[in-house]
Amino acid sequence: MQHDDGQALPGVSYVMPVLNEVTEVRAAVGSLLEQDYQGPFEVILALGPSIDGTNELVAEMSAADPRIRAVDNPVGSTPAGLNVAIRASEHPIVVRVDAHSVLPQDYTRIAVRTLQESGADNVGGIMRAEGRTPFEKAVALAYGSRVGLGGTPHHVGGQAGPAETAYLGVFRRERLFAVGLFDEGIKRGQDWELNRRLRTTGGTVWFTPELVVTYRPRPSLRRLVRQFVATGLWRGELARRFPAGNGLRYFVPPLMVVAVALGLVAGLVGVVGALLGGPLAWALTGFAIPATYLLFVVVGALAVSRRSDPATRAWLLVVLPCIHVGWGVGFIIGFLTRTSDLTTHTGR
């Protein structure tokens, strides 16, 4: 197939790291096979050491469709899987895909066109979280609001143009190799770090609101907390490693955690002071800090969930503090400790 100008459409390689995603991977791959892009393509799944039947399902899918290829990712981490798949790819454009993501039919067509028109090295769009249960719907609301994840363009939208980073990413393959692929020592935040290298070597990362990807949130509170503690850990590590490259928004959750903790300690000191009739009763005012944060959560939750069902609204009151505190605590630990020494640094 050709462009309107007569030039052949470039081939596309979809790369997807997969680990314990038996409930999501079929839909994710299906959305790739249904793309309306008319150029040649391949789907490369980097299989980690799954224990839930994922690899057996992928073997079944690849046997049924020769466009689906599986490669081993014995390390199991996301960046290692991406690198294995990219090295095995054949086409000049690499489309990074997540097993939790479902691409709309026009995604690749719009992305390739934008990549060529902008001259960028990487193009990304909006991550639109979509939940199925009240809990997942609450997580989706948090993802898509400023009160949840701070309002970056790839979560809430914005004008097309150069960006700091991009969700997933549609890359020029030669530029990935030129900057050394993903850093396998970074289990989270590896997209941001790779995009940093693309930008510092003269390249452009481009955001376009035309690209909208459906993302499936984690299905339980435990998995959500684990996700955000791990994300915070690695953001703290990256903030220490690349201090000049981090925006102010990354420091808001850890500063909030510190302020709330100090406020609670001061308040408890004030309680003791009041009971003993000593001069420390004034420290009761410390409780104003956690009270202000709780008010922020309640007002924010009500504002972004006014069209939601009661169960989703109730869950959002739990989800927001779990995201903020999990991310903030993780950031503090990651900033103060070598993340490579920690065990809670999984890539999923």
> Are 2 and 32 a contacting pair, CB within 8 Å?
no
Three-state SS for 102?
Answer: strand
Residue by residue, pLDDT tens for the chain (348 residues) are 555 554 689 999 999 999 988 888 999 999 999 999 999 999 999 999 989 988 999 999 999 999 999 999 999 999 999 999 999 999 999 999 988 788 899 999 999 999 999 999 999 998 888 888 999 999 999 988 888 876 666 666 678 899 888 888 999 999 999 999 999 988 888 899 999 999 999 999 999 999 988 888 888 999 999 999 988 998 898 888 888 767 777 888 999 999 999 999 999 998 888 887 777 778 889 999 999 999 999 999 999 888 889 999 999 999 999 999 999 999 999 999 865 555 444 443
* Cα–Cα distance, 227 to 305 (Å, whole number): 23
Q: Say if CB 13 and CB 91 are below 8 A apart.
A: yes
The span from the CA of 173 to the CA of 15, in Å, is 11
Alpha carbons 216 and 127: distance in angstroms, whole number? 10
Burial of 253 (0-12, 13-18, 19+ CB in 10 A): buried
Residue 166 CB neighbours (<10 A)? 27
- Phi, psi dihedrals of residue 73, rounded to the nearest 5°: -130, 75
CA dist., res. 97 & res. 31, Å (int): 10
